[in-house]
């Protein structure tokens, strides 16, 4: 018997996070199913930790959803998401991560917005859940966005690059990728490499192509934060790598000699970070240290990397 074509495809991309994935799949059992048919698509991104074997048991299968597991051996979150674009059959494609716990009404809220507004893309609210320990004192509120926290307030249309949607809780009309192109495979996590930026980059492309992006605050996902991310090095490394990519992209095929304006900018960034740390202590200086790490990576990428 032929299965009914789904209206929504939910894609979860995972790489070697078996323990996190087991928790996420268990939490999804509390999800309120959408009214229209839906499918749940798991992209096994080159897993070698027992994830593939666990998924093959289908003991975790969600009630009411059409279930498929697809393996993508090209490592990288963007490669996995692009594979989901090829595999999904729904009119809308919803992405989530393997370390998240949606609120029970999450998917229904997205479906309601899809039906009511027919947007090209949607984003939902992301809350931060400290799973493995207490929040460290240096983790100021201004840094929570780098752990995925996102809240743009009341429901609205998003029309600015300053109000992006994040990969832990966004959705797209599947046909929109024919207009804007796929996820940039150079961006996003790649195994243990701490790289991001693929979600804000595709948000910029959505706006540049005149796409309608809807903010759906009732669609809430909780991002579970593990101990490895509760280290200063995580934030500094993330910004260094982002700077490397930006520097290489900006240089393009030009000279590897960095432009003169970078030196004073970099020095100012380091000066502000040092001054903040000396005056207020390490618990208040990380944001400025991240700026310095970004400029360091920018120069490094300009000189060393290929765009």
Judge whether residue 121 has pLDDT over 60: yes
| 94 lies in the same domain as 191 | yes
CB atoms within 10 A of CB 53: 10
State residue 199's pLDDT score.
82
Give the 3-state secondary structure of 26-44. HHHHHCCCCCCCEEEEEEE
Nearest to 61 by CA among 78, 42, 75: 42
pLDDT band at 1 (very low <50, low <70, confident <90, very high): very low
Domain that holds residue 55: 8-229
| 75 lies in the same domain as 173 | yes
pLDDT tens digits, one per residue of 188-239? 676 666 666 788 889 999 999 999 999 999 999 999 987 777 889 888 998 8
In a domain, 2, yes or no: no
Query: Measured at the alpha carbon of residue 174, what is the angle toward residues 63 and 160, in degrees to the nearest 5?
Result: 115
Question: Rounded mean pLDDT of the chain?
Answer: 91
State residue 67's pLDDT score.
94
Greater pLDDT, 130 or 10: 10
pLDDT band at 186 (very low <50, low <70, confident <90, very high): confident
Q: How many domains does the chain have?
A: 2
In a domain, 93, yes or no: yes
What distance in Å separates the CA atoms of residue 163 and residue 156, rounded to the nearest whole number? 11
Judge whether residue 103 has pLDDT over 90: yes
What distance in Å separates the CA atoms of residue 77 and residue 190, rounded to the nearest whole number? 6
| 131 lies in the same domain as 109 | yes
Judge whether residue 146 has pLDDT over 90: no
pLDDT band at 59 (very low <50, low <70, confident <90, very high): confident
| 212 lies in the same domain as 255 | no
pLDDT tens digits, one per residue of 258-303? 888 999 999 999 999 999 999 999 999 999 999 999 999 999 999 9
* Cα Rg of the chain, angstroms: 20
| CB < 8 Å & 24+ apart, contacts of 190-194 | 190/75, 190/76, 190/77, 191/15, 191/16, 191/46, 191/75, 191/76, 193/241, 194/234, 194/237, 194/238, 194/241
Last residue of a domain, one of 229, 259, 288: 229
What distance in Å separates the CA atoms of residue 177 and residue 9, rounded to the nearest whole number? 15
Are the C-beta atoms of 261 and 205 separated by less than 8 Å? no
Out of 35-44, 119-128, 235-244, least confident range? 235-244
State residue 196's pLDDT score.
64
State residue 242's pLDDT score.
86
In a domain, 1, yes or no: no
State residue 61's pLDDT score.
85
């Amino acid at each position: 018997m032929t299965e009914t074509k789904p209206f929504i495809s939910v894609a979860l991309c995972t790489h070697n996070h078996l323990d996190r994935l087991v928790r996420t799949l268990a939490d999804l059992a509390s999800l309120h199913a959408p009214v229209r048919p839906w499918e749940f698509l798991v992209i096994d991104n080159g897993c070698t930790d027992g994830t593939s074997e666990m998924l093959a048991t289908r003991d975790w299968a969600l009630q009411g959803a059409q279930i498929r597991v697809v393996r993508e051996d090209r490592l990288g979150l963007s490669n996995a998401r692009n594979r989901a674009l090829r595999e999904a059959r729904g009119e809308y494609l919803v992405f989530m991560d393997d370390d998240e716990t949606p609120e029970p009404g999450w998917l229904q809220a997205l479906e309601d917005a899809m039906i009511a507004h027919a947007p090209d893309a949607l984003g939902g609210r992301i809350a931060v859940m400290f799973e493995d320990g207490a929040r460290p004192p240096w983790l100021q509120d201004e840094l929570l966005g780098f752990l995925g926290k996102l809240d743009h307030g009341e429901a609205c249309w998003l029309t600015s690059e300053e109000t992006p949607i994040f990969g832990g809780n966004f959705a797209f009309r599947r046909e929109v990728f024919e207009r804007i192109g796929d996820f940039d495979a150079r961006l996003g996590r790649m195994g243990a490499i701490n790289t991001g930026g693929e979600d804000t980059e595709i948000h910029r492309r959505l706006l540049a192509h005149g796409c309608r992006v809807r903010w759906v605050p009732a669609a809430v996902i909780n991002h579970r934060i593990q101990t490895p991310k509760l280290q200063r090095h995580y934030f500094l490394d993330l910004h260094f790598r982002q700077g490397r990519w930006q520097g290489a992209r900006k240089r393009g095929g030009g000279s590897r000699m960095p432009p003169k304006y970078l030196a004073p900018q970099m020095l100012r960034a380091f000066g502000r970070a040092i001054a903040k740390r000396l005056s207020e202590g390490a618990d208040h200086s990380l944001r400025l240290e991240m700026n310095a790490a970004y400029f360091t990576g920018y120069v490094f990428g300009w000189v060393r990397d290929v765009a």
